């Protein structure tokens, strides 16, 4: 889309961010001329004499993660790509809306540079299309198209956007919310397959027909093709080299119950090559693969690890001269376009104890860390005031540099003149500069009182607690035990297995009963797993590495309590079928749920697959009782419909749905069901089907092809009711772990930390995190095991030094602090028959409530002492106290 | 202290209000440049003495964000 030079970095965030030579564009590599770059490069980094080398490594396991490939131009051509400059792929469109893209984020037509006023997205380009041999659904395109549409709408609220789709497949956790947001912003969703894309002067004309039979022609300024995920170009080569099998679409073939294991032992697959998937799923799979590999290789754990070493800490005592260095960052132009950085640095240089003040372009860059280290040495700095961005994001980076330079990390102070100044006072440069100078003065005042603080390390109890003995809990317990650590597996019910016991078969025809049998046998055999049945968590206290929990077992009368010490907790408490009150479930006998149908079909009853069945999807979900999509119900409906057809091919099965969400390779079974005569009829949320009771119980629905209400009297009415979490409310209070609006546990970061909770040492997997099918549950449970094993492997946890310190001399033992502390982090001791308070540093979160309530000022906070805060307040009033 | 340009002293909790102020920056929300802030790990850290001292140093108002 833009001109790139033969030597370039692909994009600003590329890893590694190193320039490379494009062999197709380099004059030397193509024609053996030029070589201008060689003498020009000051660091002599270009050497054309280098040859490719082959090296042999002995490894214990291989993880294959080549990602996905591009949909071929042949397919794109059918949609006018290449024939009109403003037919672009979604990948190109993503770059166009990006600030580092070809138009600096401005949305422009390639044709004449005008802003597009109406925009169309065409879904399923290269997916769900047997014409190009891609029968599968890529699973991610609906969601990213919605995101791109929202971004385009944010760029230009006047821009009219239409998304042409077959089914909107936003089955991921909270993804439906994005679709609702898009609709509220005025983005139009039209269920239609676009038949033709035609050049129409500057515009592009789309021909499409909707379900009611109307044909429409509509011109657009720009058309975005939502391209699917193709198997990687060199899939066959990789498979041949590694010796594993591919599936019919050239993705890696894996088994449903062992989703990351390729057909070759010791070779694992993660990411889109295992099947199309989004970022959270890919990140989860990577952690899961790490778990599998690390248990395979646990005998070699720790070998070849190089521990980072720091220089001996330079002692900084109370009597030492305070030598402050102030670094004022430009942050590119983020700060310097508003704040006069030079004058902030100049003013800082005039402050007492400041022996060095300077500016830097990007303080956080790698080379700036080297400069910082040199300056510390050169000017014998023993306090650093970094005047830049937020300590919440960047303090750890600079503190690491301080440690590298031999300074205690608590001698670092950060002043935020970007997030809190230049960005929020963009129109008032003078006032922003004045504010920056005040903030630096306050920061310097505080830093004069900064003292080296001891970083405590506490040992970790190398044991895990897993709550929930369903598929997720059993898998995670076994994985942790495979790493070599004891696990306490707590199950509320009388047997292990949870929902797995209710599922009779999977869409791919596997037997969950067999899986359950295998897992149960493995748990019995695994001596490291202790199972507690009929048990629940009563209380939990402590922190990462050192939790203590009380587990209550048995009925109320014979209740037994055990106390367990453990280092980590995995929440795998699962979910259950949502028993909706709608559609006469529970009152009319022939209205049953998919799970009940599944049990019936697995039995031997004579009439188990009657002649006519109506299935109602999203019964109580997606905006009714539940706000969300339960992800598994469409597959379940297709599976049961196929089973009915297998038992009774004459049966008429009608599935009333909103969007069929058979994402990934399940699309094949959806196709099979249609081929076998299962009738799929879409309905709109506003025109839901009804179950009516008169002489008989009938289903009434609106048929979009006939354009009228239809009444049918089936033998069975089957509801796809969705999944609700179990017991997350109580647990979230016990653990102080947040849940979503739908009461599923909320992960620490949806994309980057998908199985960790915000509370350190607590992890989540399975239905407690959100509805998901068996294979995704297994992967997530393995991922949670990998994350939970990390503190256990390390064996120790670091405690932040910003904790309370109690001066025993001044303490009068009143105990106010003990009663005020929200974390039970202060205990009372008897010293020489006098009551004294003492902090438990590992439990202390540094809130400081104790310090501000202590009647004798005996308590102070590390990093936020009385002296430090008072100095800041005085500096606010422009009083300078040089020490 | 000038009435037209009052100086406000703010104490921001690291976990909520300080994070919110960061988020305001990221979203480029514009607000008056009168506040000078001190980060604390919790508003529970705010000693009554801090507030009194703030006023005596010329603060027109004290903002506790937590």
**Quick check: A421 contacting B, CB < 8 Å?**
yes
> Which string of DSSP letters, residue by residue, matches A287-303?
HHHHHHHHHHTGGGTTT
Please give the average per-residue pLDDT across A687-702, as a whole number.
95
What is the model's pLDDT at position B3? 54
Enumerate residues 37 to 66 of chain B having a beta carbon within 8 A of any beta carbon in chain A.
37-42, 44-50, 53-54, 56-59
Residue A120 distance to chain B (closest CA, Å) = 28
Residues of A in contact with B66 (CB under 8 A): none
Record: contact A420-B37, CB cut-off 8 A? yes
What is the chain A residue with the closest CA to B41? A847
Record: contact B57-A879, CB cut-off 8 A? yes
Model confidence pLDDT, tens digit, residues A722-766: 999 999 999 998 887 889 999 999 998 888 899 999 888 999 999
Record: contact B28-A423, CB cut-off 8 A? yes
Residue B36 has its nearest CB partner, among A442, A845, A848, at A442
Model confidence pLDDT, tens digit, residues A772-790: 999 999 999 999 999 999 9
Phi, psi of A679 (to 5 degrees): -100, 125
Q: Are A760 and A769 in contact (CB under 8 A)?
A: no
Of A877, A878, A880, A881, which to mutate for an interface test with B (greatest number of B Cβ within 10 Å)? A877
Residue A150 distance to chain B (closest CA, Å) = 16
Residue B22 distance to chain A (closest CA, Å) = 5
Residues 6+ apart with CB under 8 A from A793: A301, A483
**Quick check: A866 contacting B, CB < 8 Å?**
yes
Angle at A609 between CA A603 and CA A611, to 5 degrees: 165
Residues of B in contact with A846 (CB under 8 A): 41-42
Phi, psi of A162 (to 5 degrees): -125, 135
Residue B42 has its nearest CB partner, among A425, A848, A877, at A848
- Give A834's pLDDT tier (boundaries 50, 70, 90): very high
DSSP state of A419: I
Residues of B in contact with A759 (CB under 8 A): none
Residue B26 has its nearest CB partner, among A419, A848, A873, at A419
What is the model's pLDDT at position B1? 46
Model confidence pLDDT, tens digit, residues A642-665: 999 999 999 999 999 999 999 999
What is the model's pLDDT at position A234? 95
Residues of A in contact with B10 (CB under 8 A): none
Residues of B in contact with A419 (CB under 8 A): 21-22, 24-26
Q: CB count, 10 Å around CB of A622?
A: 21
Residue ranges per structural domain of chain B: 8-65
Residues of B in contact with A431 (CB under 8 A): 33
Residues of A in contact with B48 (CB under 8 A): 852
Please give the average per-residue pLDDT across A699-708, as a whole number.
94
Q: Do A804-861 and A324-455 fall under one CATH topology? A: no
Helices (DSSP H) in A109-197: which residue ranges? Answer: 141-155, 175-184
Record: contact B42-A846, CB cut-off 8 A? yes
**Quick check: B17 contacting A, CB < 8 Å?**
no
- Give A467's pLDDT tier (boundaries 50, 70, 90): very high
What is the model's pLDDT at position A99? 73
Return the beta strands (E) in A521-599 as ranges: 529-532, 535-543, 546-553, 560-566, 568-571, 575-577, 591-593
Q: CB count, 10 Å around CB of A78?
A: 15
Model confidence pLDDT, tens digit, residues A202-224: 999 999 999 888 999 999 999 99
Please give the average per-residue pLDDT across A552-559, as a whole number.
83
Q: Is the pLDDT of residue A114 over 60?
A: yes
Residue ranges per structural domain of chain A: 73-227, 324-455, 464-571+736-797, 579-721, 804-861
Record: contact A861-B41, CB cut-off 8 A? yes
The C-alpha atoms of residue A220 and residue A199 are separated, in whole angstroms, by: 10
**Quick check: A871 contacting B, CB < 8 Å?**
no
Of A225, A207, A217, A226, which Cα lies nearest the Cα of A81? A225
Model confidence pLDDT, tens digit, residues A135-153: 999 999 999 999 999 999 9
Residue A419 has its nearest CB partner, among B22, B33, B50, at B22
The C-alpha atoms of residue A547 and residue A549 are separated, in whole angstroms, by: 6
Record: contact A852-B33, CB cut-off 8 A? no
Q: Are A815 and A828 in contact (CB under 8 A)?
A: yes
Q: What is the CATH class of A73-227?
A: alpha beta
Instruction: ipTM value, please give it.
Output: 0.97
What is the model's pLDDT at position A88? 97
> What CATH number was assigned to the domain covering residues A324-455?
3.40.50
pLDDT > 90 fraction of chain B, expressed in percent and rounded: 76
Residue B36 has its nearest CB partner, among A438, A847, A870, at A438
Record: contact A852-B46, CB cut-off 8 A? yes
- Give A578's pLDDT tier (boundaries 50, 70, 90): very high
**Quick check: A429 contacting B, CB < 8 Å?**
no
Q: Is the pLDDT of residue A867 over 60?
A: yes
Residue B65 distance to chain A (closest CA, Å) = 14
Record: contact A877-B48, CB cut-off 8 A? no
What is the chain A residue with the closest CA to B40? A864
Report residue A663 as tokens: 């994402």
Q: Based on C-alpha coordinates, what's the Rg of chain A?
A: 32
Helix (H), strand (E) at residue A242: helix A235-242
Q: Is the pLDDT of residue A428 over 50?
A: yes
Q: Is the pLDDT of residue A620 over 50?
A: yes
What is the model's pLDDT at position A841? 87
Residues of B in contact with A866 (CB under 8 A): 47
**Quick check: A333 contacting B, CB < 8 Å?**
no
**Quick check: A800 contacting B, CB < 8 Å?**
no
Report residue B54 as tokens: 């703030």
Of A754, A727, A758, which Cα lies nearest the Cα of A743? A727
Residue A876 has its nearest CB partner, among B36, B39, B46, at B36
Torsion of CA A8, A12, A14, A18, to 10 degrees: 40
- Taking the alpha carbons of A241, A243, A249, A254 in that order, is the dihedral positive or negative? negative
Report residue A792 as tokens: 């256990």
Angle at A157 between CA A151 and CA A162, to 5 degrees: 70
Please give the average per-residue pLDDT across A703-710, as a whole number.
93
Record: contact A419-B57, CB cut-off 8 A? no
Of A852, A859, A861, which to mutate for an interface test with B (greatest number of B Cβ within 10 Å)? A852
What is the chain B residue with the closest CA to A852? B47
**Separation of CA A626 from chain center:** 22
Residue A413 distance to chain B (closest CA, Å) = 11
Of A387, A395, A390, which Cα lies nearest the Cα of A351? A387
Residues of B in contact with A874 (CB under 8 A): 53, 57
Of B5, B18, B36, which to mutate for an interface test with A (greatest number of A Cβ within 10 Å)? B36
Residue A729 half-sphere exposure toward CB, CA atoms < 13 A? 4
**Quick check: B33 contacting A, CB < 8 Å?**
yes
The rounded mean pLDDT for chain A is: 94
Q: What is the CATH class of A579-721?
A: alpha beta
Helix (H), strand (E) at residue A831: strand A826-831
Residue A880 distance to chain B (closest CA, Å) = 12
Q: Is the pLDDT of residue A880 over 80?
A: no
Architecture of domain A464-571+736-797: 3-Layer(bba) Sandwich (3.50)
Beta bridge partners of A464: A487, A568
Tell whether domain A804-861 is in CATH 3.30.70.20. yes
């Amino acid at each position: 889309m833009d001109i790139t030079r033969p030597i370039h970095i692909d994009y600003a965030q590329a890893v590694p961010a190193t320039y490379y030579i494009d062999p197709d564009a380099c004059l030397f590599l193509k024609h053996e001329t030029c070589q201008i770059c060689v003498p020009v490069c000051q660091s002599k980094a270009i050497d054309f004499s280098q040859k490719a080398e082959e090296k042999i490594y002995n490894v214990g396991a291989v993880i294959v993660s080549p990602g996905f490939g591009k949909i071929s131009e042949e397919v794109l051509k059918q949609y006018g790509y290449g024939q009109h400059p403003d037919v672009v792929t979604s990948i190109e469109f993503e770059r166009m809306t990006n600030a580092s893209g070809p138009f600096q984020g401005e949305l422009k037509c390639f044709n004449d540079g005008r802003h597009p006023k109406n925009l169309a997205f065409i879904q399923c380009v290269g997916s769900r299309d047997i014409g190009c041999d891609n029968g599968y659904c890529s699973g991610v395109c609906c969601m990213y198209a919605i995101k791109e549409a929202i971004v385009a709408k944010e760029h230009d609220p006047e821009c009219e956007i239409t998304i042409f789709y077959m089914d909107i497949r936003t089955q991921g956790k909270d993804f439906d919310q994005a679709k609702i947001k898009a609709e509220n912003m005025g983005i139009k969703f039209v269920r239609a397959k676009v038949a033709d894309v035609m050049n129409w002067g500057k515009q592009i004309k789309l021909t499409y027909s909707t379900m009611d039979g109307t044909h429409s022609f509509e011109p657009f300024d720009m058309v975005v093709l939502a391209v699917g995920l193709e198997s990687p170009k060199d899939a066959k080569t990789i498979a041949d080299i590694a010796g594993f099998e591919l599936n019919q679409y050239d993705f890696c073939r894996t088994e449903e119950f062992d989703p990351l294991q390729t057909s070759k032992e010791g070779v694992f697959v993660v990411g889109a090559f295992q099947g199309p998937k989004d970022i959270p799923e890919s990140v989860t799979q990577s952690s899961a693969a790490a778990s599998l590999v690390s248990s395979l290789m646990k005998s070699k754990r720790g070998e070849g690890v190089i521990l980072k070493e720091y220089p001996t800490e330079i002692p900084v005592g109370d009597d030492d001269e305070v030598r402050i260095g102030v670094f004022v960052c430009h942050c590119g132009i983020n700060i310097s376009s508003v704040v006069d950085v030079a004058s902030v640095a100049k003013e800082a240089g005039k402050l007492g104890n400041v022996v060095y003040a300077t500016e830097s372009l990007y303080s956080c860059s790698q080379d700036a860390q080297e400069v910082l280290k040199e300056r510390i040495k050169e000017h014998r700095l023993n306090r650093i005031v970094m005047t830049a961005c937020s300590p919440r994001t960047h303090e750890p980076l600079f503190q690491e540099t301080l440690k590298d330079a031999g300074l205690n990390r608590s001698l670092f102070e950060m002043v935020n003149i970007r997030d809190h100044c230049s960005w929020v006072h963009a129109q008032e440069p003078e006032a922003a500069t004045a504010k920056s100078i005040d903030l630096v003065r306050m920061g310097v005042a505080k830093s004069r009182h900064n003292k080296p603080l001891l970083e405590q390390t506490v040992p970790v109890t190398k044991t895990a607690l897993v709550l929930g003995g369903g598929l997720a809990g059993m898998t995670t317990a076994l994985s942790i035990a495979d790493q070599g650590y004891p696990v306490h597996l707590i199950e509320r019910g009388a047997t292990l297995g949870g929902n797995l016991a209710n599922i009779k078969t999977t869409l791919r025809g596997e037997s969950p009963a067999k899986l359950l049998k295998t897992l149960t046998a493995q748990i019995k055999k695994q001596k490291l797993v202790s199972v507690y049945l009929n048990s629940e968590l009563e209380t939990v206290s402590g922190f990462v590495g050192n939790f203590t929990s009380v587990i209550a077992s048995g009925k109320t009368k014979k209740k037994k309590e055990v106390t367990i010490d453990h280092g980590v907790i995995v929440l795998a408490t699962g979910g259950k079928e949502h028993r909706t009150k709608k559609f006469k479930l529970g009152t009319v006998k022939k209205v049953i749920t998919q799970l009940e149908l599944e049990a019936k079909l697995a039995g031997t009853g004579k009439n188990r697959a009657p002649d006519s069945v109506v299935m109602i999807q999203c019964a109580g979900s997606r905006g009714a009782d539940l706000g969300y999509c339960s992800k598994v119900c469409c597959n379940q409906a297709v599976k049961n419909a196929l089973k009915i057809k297998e038992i009774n091919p004459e049966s008429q099965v009608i599935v009333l749905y909103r969007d069929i969400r058979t994402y990934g390779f399940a699309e094949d079974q959806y196709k099979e069901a249609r081929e076998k005569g299962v009738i799929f009829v879409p309905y709109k949320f506003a025109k839901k089907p009804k179950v009516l009771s008169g002489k008989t119980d009938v289903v009434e629905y609106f048929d979009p092809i006939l354009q009228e209400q239809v009444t049918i009297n089936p033998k069975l009415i089957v509801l796809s009711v969705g999944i609700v979490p179990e017991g997350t409310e109580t647990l979230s209070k016990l653990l102080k772990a947040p849940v979503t609006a739908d009461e599923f546990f909320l992960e620490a970061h949806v994309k980057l930390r998908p199985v960790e909770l915000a509370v350190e040492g607590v992890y989540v997997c399975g239905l407690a995190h959100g509805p998901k099918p068996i294979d995704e549950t297994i992967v997530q449970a393995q991922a949670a095991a990998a994350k939970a094993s990390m503190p256990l492997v390390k064996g120790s946890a670091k405690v932040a030094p910003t904790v309370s310190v109690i001066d025993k001399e001044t303490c009068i033992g009143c105990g106010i602090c003990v009663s005020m502390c929200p974390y039970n982090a202060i205990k009372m001791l008897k010293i020489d028959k006098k009551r004294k308070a003492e902090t438990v540093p590992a439990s202390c979160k540094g809130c400081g409530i104790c310090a501000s309530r202590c009647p004798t000022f005996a308590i102070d906070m590390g990093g936020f002492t009385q002296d430090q805060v008072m100095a800041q307040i005085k500096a606010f009033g422009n009083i300078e106290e040089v020490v | 202290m000038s009435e037209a340009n009052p100086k406000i002293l703010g104490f921001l909790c690291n976990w909520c209000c300080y994070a919110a102020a960061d988020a305001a920056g990221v979203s480029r929300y514009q607000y008056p440049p009168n506040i000078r802030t001190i980060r604390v790990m919790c508003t529970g850290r705010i000693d009554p003495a801090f507030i009194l001292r703030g006023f005596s140093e010329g603060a027109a108002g004290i903002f506790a964000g937590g």
